[in-house]
Every structure is written in structure tokens, then in C-alpha cells.
Structure 1
Amino acid sequence: MSVPPPVPLPLSVGQEGLWLAHQLDPASPAYNVVLAVRLRDRVRTDVLQEALTALVARHELLRSRFPATESGPARVTVPADDVRLDVREVPDHDDDALFRLAQEAAEEPFRLADRGAFRAVLLRRAPDDAVLVTATHHIVSDATSQWLLVRDLFAEYGARTGQPAAGPAPAAGDWSGQVASERAFIASPRGERAAAYWRERCAGLAAAELPTDRPRPPQRTLNGATTELELPAATAGRLRETAARHALTPFAWLLGTFQAALHRSGAGDAFLIGCPATTRFTPESRNAVGYYVNALPVAARFGPSTTLLDTVESAQHQLRTGLAHARHPVELLDGGPGRGPLFRISCTLVAADRLPVPGLYEGPVRLGGLRAELCDVPQQEGQLDLTVEVLQDSRGFRAVLRYNTDLFDAATVERFRDTWHRLVDASLDAPDTGAGDVVLVAPDDLEFLLFLGAGAP
């Protein structure tokens, strides 16, 4: 008796955009979302496979394929045991080589139509020393999802090796229901009001663009690299204190100064950036793996009297009001090729203390009875001109700046990073300083430049 083929299921608006991006450059790792952990105990691969099967049975997107149909991209599911753990024996590799292998496993392209959007690779250097690389395509995942799947995978592993359970597994959301809910919202009066809100917010504004080192290619590319900004502990403390004194959040403060840095770096006096925000609005969705993200457009407008505090306050107000309309996918507002993309630059917050695997960002933890620590491989580089992820934990704030290498040299992005850092410091020293009045050259460098300008005696 033949088994009927699976029924194709619809995609969300965001998934349709990611599917198209994959068709344009299927070999790019720009949309690979990765979480890798170093395991320092003996791993039973048979048990890990059982845990993996239970994981993908629980989260249907991890066992989904994304073929093209006559009516466009669709989703079909496969049996959970079709997803296999990939065990690679890598003896005689030092730590640096093991890290490179983890990065290579993370960057391998996905074949969405016939192999799906999830893989788990165990790089085993010794029986008690391995790296587990979990990689998804963004079409089935977001930052929270990657931590959820690692949490659930090791909970399943621990349950099979006699580890005490923290409690019953929380219910996971139904992705088809999420897509149906999104479509119903878009067509509803509330959805129409949300669309009108975003149209008004974006009217007359174009995507922020930094001056590039090379002409923009006629076709979008996804090649990227990463640089970082870590605020000193003293600065992080002042940021928290100053933001609280003004009834603002630290992220809003960093976002406003980020916009000021774009303005001072050549992005102009008025522009839009995107701030990805979660759409996990139900208890079930908070424990589900999926692409639960919509971007919030955040506008910046600078005039002669605009202060750094004005910019920060505007950023916070827009984030708060925008969250009320976050269910509406802003991709529907692009307005066609004549307008261009809504964003070329984005900035988002990841709060480590709210992630589903507490402590992993900051040091070794136990997962399913195994000693584990984060193996922080580069990822998601080149999605836009510039994407910034602000990581907040008990130690402070670290910003990961991922940029398109076909547009920018490393030195250009590092100069922008330093400008942002200088504006953060200036805003904490004197929030009412004009955004255009901050001196962006260090005092010693300024003295040297003035000396050169005056001419040597």
C-alpha cells in the first residue's frame, strides 16, 4: 500500500523572504543560525541519536523540507527518524583545528528542498572530548530557538541517562497555527491599523546606508565578517545607572547612540534601521523552535539642536510603541523595487540571562549530565550591510558587528565601531550634548592633527 505524499503547508511572510534569499545564493552561510557546545564527558552517540529523534518529533520545523510548488514555496514534514546525527571522528586535532572544524560544520550550506534546514554534527576528538554543532537555516529558527533546541536536546539526553528532570517538558507551539494566525491578523482591522502605523512611521524615509568602500554590486551578495565592541566594566555600570536615572533601558541608550554614530559616519540626517523583535506572544510559542521574528522600523532624524539624549529617548519611544504593532510583517511595506529595501542596517538585543540555557554564555554548565561550555563560532555574517547584536549579561555589554565584505573593509567598520564607542562615552558624560558636537578624535590625536595643521616649526 503506497503512502500518500505529505500535504504542502504554507510559510509565514518572513519565511517566504528567507526562502527567496536562499534561492538567490543557496551556498551562502549568511542565514545559518548556530549554537555549538564543547562536551567534556563521554557522549553516548546512540542515546544522543534517540534524543535527537525526540527533539525533531517535538519541533516540527526541524523535520521540515521547503520545496517549490506551482503556487510558490511550501513546507512538508518528514518522519522524525529521518534526521540523523552526523558523527565525525577527528582525532589528533588541537583546539584551534577543532574550532575551525566546528566553524566549517556551521557554514555548510543547507539544501532546503530535499535535506531540510537542521543538522547536528558531533566532532569527536576523544571519547570524552567533542564539539556538538547544531545548525539551522533561519527559515526555521531564530536566536531563542537555537537555545531552546539545545535545552530540549540535552533534556532528552539526560532523561535517557538517569539525570533528574527539571519538570515536565513545556508545551511547544504549532507552526501551522502560527502561520494561520499571522494571515488572519494581516487581514483583520487590527492588522490594517498596524500596517497604517508602519506606513506613517516610514513615510519619506529610506534605509540607512553608510558610505561604502566599493560600489554596491548590482545583485545583492551575502559575504561577511565580524568585529566586536566590548564595553569596559566601568562603562557598562555607568550605562545602567545613567539609563535608569532617565527612566530608559540600556538597550535604548545603545540604540540611540548607534543611530547617532550612523549619522556622524555619513548615513545622513534622516533614515530607517530595523530592530528585530520577537513574535512569541503565546505561552506555547515561547517554548517552540521557529522563525518568531518581525523587524521593527526605527526612524532617526537629526537637526542642528538634536541631542544625544533626544535620540535615545526617541529610540525607546519607538521601540515601545512599535512592539504594539509587531505582529504585522513589515516586509509587506517594502513598496516594490522602486523604493528599495526597508533596511540595510539592523540592531537587536540578546539578553543572556533570559536565554533557555542559563549560564552557558558566561562559563561551563552541565547539560544532560555532561560538562559543556560554549564554542562561540562566527555566524550570520553578511545578511545586510551591517547587523549588530548587543549581548547583555551579568558582566556587561558586548556588541557583535557583522558586515558585508563586498561593501566594507575591516578598517571602515572598526572606525565606525570606535565612533559608536566614543558617542556612548560622550552620552554618559553629558547626555544633553548635541549629536553633531561630539569630538570624534581622541585628545592626543586631535593635538597631533592641530600641530600638523599649524606646520612644523
Structure 2
Amino acid sequence: MTFRNDSISFEQKKDELSQRRSQLSVVKQTLLKKRLCGNFESNAQLQLIPRRSQSGSAPLSFAQQRMWFLYQLEPNSAAYNQAASIHLSGSLNIRALEQSLNEIVRRHEALRTTFAIIEEESVQIIAPALTMTLPIIDLRKLPEVEREQEVQRRTTQEVQQLFDLEQGPLLRSIVLHLTETEYLLQVTMHHIITDGWTWGVLVGELVALYEAFSIGKPSTLPELPIQYADFAVWQRQWLATEVLETQLAYWKQQLYDLPTLQLPTDRPRPTVQTFQGARQTLMLPKALSEELKVLSQQSGITLFMLLLATFKTLLHWYTKQDDIVVGTDVANRNQPEVEGLIGFFVNQLVLRTNLSGNPTFRELLGRVRDCTLSAYAHQDFPFEKLLNALKLERTRGRMPLFQVKLVLQNAPLPPLEITGLSVKLSESDIDAERAKFDLLMNLMDTTEGLKVQLEYDTDLFDAVSMKQMLGYFEQLLCTVVKQPQTQLHVLEEMLTEVSKQQQILNEKQLKEARIHKFKNIKRRVI
């Protein structure tokens, strides 16, 4: 670590370090402590990732290996297409926008990558160059209602169009020209070359490059220190060391005799997962969202841990199981060299907590904290490699290890500011009709408060059941934020009472609807 003034005393340096450390999250403080104490696993991550010696092809990363397996299993599925829409308002320079996209493709090998099997080994094939064209679809002459319908149709068409992982390219984009000064840039990639963090990288570079190219200046972005394939080579070499056995030993112990969550469903589970889904959204009040943050800080945990403990309480009430298993995502970008790369790094973790013994909610927070920190300390073990090591019997009816997932979105997003243009990521319901898990609770921290999106498998659940689940989740949050010492069985009795009241209300509304229908029929007869 460097300091701006070499004459600063040792005590001043020590104070500055202490202050910086105090500003870190609980998770980062724990990981930092492990590194400073000489933990082998963490110190290994401090090694710089070198450039690979050969260009043109490389082994798959472990994350890509799993995605490649799923693609070969279901080549006609668009379930792993990832899309984003960027709304641009103002005087748009289309040529500069296309030039910017092509510069991003040049900078990032992942966007020029396809996949193949050579001598029975799966490999990345990296093209030396790739030039993208940016189609412009003019919708200005359509009436507003028709234009909105056409935007939705083309958006759906884009995300459902299949990618050929062997032929590529695995990136495509179009511009919908909405009005004289409004445009919608739609970008779609296959998940094998992207993840949630990637979108922040792509948008950040797009803004910086367009700002330069639109006024005839060269790129101001520095060249990348490594490429995604360098990471893939390094990852396999690193995990060939003692790190592999150490981390695997932890996960084998943690996942021994892992239960399946017996969540009540509205319909029997089909033998083959169709990935048909829907989404329900809940916006938590800003005041409640702020109270949750205060409680997490006072309890020495992260907001994610607090939300996870609440979600697990809810699942405990639904299933009557003490051993609750939920999955989550981690960015898996622990090395500074990969933070600015486009690529598929995200790893999945299994978070297993025992809720037996009727703990208070505050006691449960401690259990969830310990479980989460332990998982984070072993987060580098690839999910695909874990599945292989455990020799699990895979079925096409459900995801392995866990079927319910909770994610708090906190991937960094750069400022969206361009001279002469208003830029914003446009929310879309593109992915709302797909579901990879039985349930995925996705939370986003917005300026208006926490936004909760519950994505669910429509082969299993009805919309009314999911709306009720979100209502119970909010009720739990309102209770625990005020009374964190409440015991689990008291919280669940509260949910049972709320459920009974909801059932009475539903029956009353149904009865009134039947009476209203009967009266209408009687009038027509008379």
C-alpha cells in the first residue's frame, strides 16, 4: 500500500489503515484477516494471473464447463440467453455507437470466443478479430401503442433467438429508433461469456468509448492486463494445488447428507424441467429498507445475511424442515486483474443452516452469519467441479444441490453520463417468462427502497401463491426489524394467523364474486 506523503509517521499510517479496515464489510474484514494471518488459500489468490503462453485456444473455465454441458443437454433452449436494454435520449451518433461496440469486442477476447471439442477436450476458440454490424430498426412512424407492442415483440424475439456456441458470435445487438430523439439499444449474450458483473463493465466502457469516438478522439481506456482465457488457464493450474483438496474437504463435510427442500407446490413436479416461469414484484417501503440496514449494522452482519435469515425463516414455516438449504451467487472476481473483464466468472454457493431449537431471530442471525462467512472463505471451489466430486445423480426435473436461491444484486454500475445524451438501463420483462429454479428471490437496493422480485417455476406454482409468499416475507421483515429477540415459533404463529385471515378474505371475495355472477345471470333471464 502506498501513501501520498512518505514523511507520515508510523502511527499515522496505522491509524489510516485501521480507519480503512473499519469501513470494510464484515465479510471483507474476515477475508482480510485470513490473508494477513497467512492462510494458504487466500494467499494463493494474491498471486498475479499471468498471460497464457499460447493464443487462439484455451481450456474452458469451470463455470464455462458447466454451461457447455447444459448447452449440449438442451441445445434448443434459450434459457441461458442474457439481455439488457439501454435507453438513449438525445442526439445519437450511430456510427460512434457501432464503433464503440466493436472496440469493446476487440478489447475482450470473451466476445470473440466460440467453443469446440478437440481430441475429446472442450476448448475455447478465440477469433483474432470480429466486426459487428449494428442494425437500426426504425419505429418512428408507428403510433405509440403499436410502437410499444413492436418493441416488446422484437425484444422477446431477440432474447429467444438461439445462439450456436460452436459457430458464434455469442453477442448481438440492435438499435430500435423510437422517436426523433429516443433510441433503445438491445444487447444479448449467451451466459457462457457473461454474468451480472459483466454488464457494468460493458456499459462503463461503452459510455467512455462513445464519449471519445463521438467527437473524433481515440479511446482513453487502458489495455487490459489479461484476458478471460488467461483466467481459465490460471484457475485450472491453481486448483491443481493443495487448495483443491482443502476446499473440497470443507464442502464434502458441509454438504454431507444434504436434504431436499420440501416446498409445497400447487402442482406435481414434471419429470423434465421446461424453464417456464413468471415473476412477482414487491417494493418494500423506504423506511423499512433503512431500518433493515440499521439492524444489520447493529448486529454486525451484512444486509444480505439479514434478508437470508428472514427468507430461511419463511421457508422453515412452509416446509416444517429444520435443515434449510438455499443457494446464492458470488461474483468470483477476487483477483484485481479480472474486475474489468467481460466473461462468466460468477460461482454458486450452497448455504445450509440448521433452524432447530426454536432460536430467537437474533440467534438465527448468528447461525446464518457463521454459515455464510464459512461459505465465502471457500467460495473459489467451482460449482461444476463440486457436482462432479460429489458424484450426484443428475435429473432433468430439478437443479442439483438446491432449488431455491436468494441473490442481493450489488454489482457495481458506473455513472451513465454522456455529453448530449441521457442514458439509463431500461427495465424489461424479457426474462420474466423463464425460471431456472423453483424459486429465485432477487433483491435490489434502489433509491426508493429494497425491490424484491420473486421468479418462480410456473409448472409448480400459481401467481396467487407467490403473491402470498411475498406478503408473508414483508410481514416477517416488519416484525423482526422491530422485535429481533422474537423466537422462531412466535414468528411462525404470526404467519399462520396471517395465512388464516388471508384464507377467510379469499373465501369471502370468492363468495361475493359468485353472488354477483348469479345476480347478473338472473337479470339476463328476467
Aligned to 2:149: 97
Aligned to 1:142: 195
CA-to-partner distance for each residue in 1:178-231, whole Å, 9 max, x for gaps? 112221232211221111111111112234342222222222322221112221
Aligned to 2:66: 17
C-alpha distance in structure 1 between counterparts of 2:106 and 2:320, whole Å: 47
Aligned to 2:306: 253
1:348 aligns with 2:407: yes
C-alpha distance in structure 2 between counterparts of 1:444 and 1:33, whole Å: 37
Secondary structure, aligned partner of 2:488: coil
Aligned to 2:428: 377
C-alpha distance in structure 1 between counterparts of 2:231 and 2:125, whole Å: 16
How far did residue 357 of structure 1 move?
Answer: 2.1
Greater displacement, 163-172 / 318-327: 163-172
Aligned to 1:431: 484
Corresponding pairs, count:
438
Which one of 140, 157, 161 corresponds to residue 210 of structure 2? 157
Greater displacement, 297-306 / 281-290: 297-306
C-alpha distance in structure 2 between counterparts of 1:122 and 1:154, whole Å: 16
Greater displacement, 132-141 / 102-111: 102-111
One-letter amino acid of the counterpart of residue 445, structure 2: Q
Greater displacement, 131-140 / 6-15: 6-15
How far did residue 255 of structure 1 move?
Answer: 0.9
Secondary structure, aligned partner of 1:284: helix
Paired residues for 1:268-347 under 5 Å: 268-334=321-387, 335-338=390-393, 341-347=400-406
C-alpha distance in structure 2 between counterparts of 1:163 and 1:241, whole Å: 48
How far did residue 167 of structure 1 move?
Answer: 5.9
The alignment's TM-score, normalised by the length of structure 2, stands at 0.77
> Compared with structure 1, are the counterparts of its residues 37 and 339 closer, same or farther at alpha carbon in structure 2 (3 Å cutoff)?
closer
1:418 aligns with 2:471: yes
C-alpha distance in structure 2 between counterparts of 1:169 and 1:436, whole Å: 57
| Unaligned runs of at least 5 residues, structure 2 | 1-54, 508-526
Secondary structure, aligned partner of 2:59: coil
Counterpart contact for 1:304–1:436, Cα < 8 Å: no
C-alpha distance in structure 1 between counterparts of 2:401 and 2:498, whole Å: 38
One-letter amino acid of the counterpart of residue 137, structure 2: R
Counterpart contact for 1:207–1:273, Cα < 8 Å: no
1:196 aligns with 2:244: no
Counterpart contact for 1:87–1:121, Cα < 8 Å: yes
Counterpart contact for 1:349–1:389, Cα < 8 Å: yes
Which one of 201, 221, 226 corresponds to residue 279 of structure 2? 226
Aligned to 1:362: none
1:357 aligns with 2:392: no
| Unaligned runs of at least 5 residues, structure 1 | 1-5, 359-364, 453-457
Which one of 191, 214, 218 corresponds to residue 267 of structure 2? 214
- The structure having more radius of gyration, on CA atoms, is 2
Secondary structure, aligned partner of 2:58: coil
How far did residue 431 of structure 1 move?
Answer: 1.2
How far did residue 102 of structure 1 move?
Answer: 2.9
Aligned to 1:57: 106
> Compared with structure 1, are the counterparts of its residues 407 and 369 closer, same or farther at alpha carbon in structure 2 (3 Å cutoff)?
same
Aligned to 1:75: 124
CA-to-partner distance for each residue in 1:141-183, whole Å, 9 max, x for gaps? 1111012112212321211112999964473542122112221
Aligned to 2:455: 402
1:36 aligns with 2:117: no
Greater helix percent: which structure?
2
> Compared with structure 1, are the counterparts of its residues 343 and 120 closer, same or farther at alpha carbon in structure 2 (3 Å cutoff)?
same
How far did residue 89 of structure 1 move?
Answer: 2.3
Secondary structure, aligned partner of 1:225: strand
Aligned to 1:366: 417
Paired residues for 1:164-183 under 5 Å: 168-169=221-222, 171=224, 173-183=226-236
One-letter amino acid of the counterpart of residue 149, structure 2: A
Secondary structure, aligned partner of 1:180: helix
One-letter amino acid of the counterpart of residue 309, structure 2: G
C-alpha distance in structure 1 between counterparts of 2:58 and 2:180, whole Å: 41
Counterpart contact for 2:56–2:128, Cα < 8 Å: no
One-letter amino acid of the counterpart of residue 430, structure 1: Q
How far did residue 300 of structure 1 move?
Answer: 2.1
> Compared with structure 1, are the counterparts of its residues 447 and 154 closer, same or farther at alpha carbon in structure 2 (3 Å cutoff)?
closer
C-alpha distance in structure 2 between counterparts of 1:257 and 1:164, whole Å: 51
One-letter amino acid of the counterpart of residue 345, structure 1: V
C-alpha distance in structure 2 between counterparts of 1:123 and 1:337, whole Å: 46
C-alpha distance in structure 1 between counterparts of 2:485 and 2:459, whole Å: 37
> Compared with structure 1, are the counterparts of its residues 389 and 447 closer, same or farther at alpha carbon in structure 2 (3 Å cutoff)?
closer
CA-to-partner distance for each residue in 1:113-166, whole Å, 9 max, x for gaps? 212321112111234211001121111111110121122123212111129999
How far did residue 382 of structure 1 move?
Answer: 0.8
One-letter amino acid of the counterpart of residue 356, structure 1: L
> Compared with structure 1, are the counterparts of its residues 304 and 199 closer, same or farther at alpha carbon in structure 2 (3 Å cutoff)?
same
The alignment's TM-score, normalised by the length of structure 1, stands at 0.87
Greater displacement, 113-122 / 290-299: 113-122
C-alpha distance in structure 2 between counterparts of 1:313 and 1:236, whole Å: 21
Secondary structure, aligned partner of 2:155: helix
Counterpart contact for 1:272–1:299, Cα < 8 Å: yes
C-alpha distance in structure 2 between counterparts of 1:448 and 1:218, whole Å: 31
Identical-pair percentage? 26
One-letter amino acid of the counterpart of residue 232, structure 1: P
RMSD of equivalent CA atoms: 2.7
C-alpha distance in structure 2 between counterparts of 1:448 and 1:180, whole Å: 56
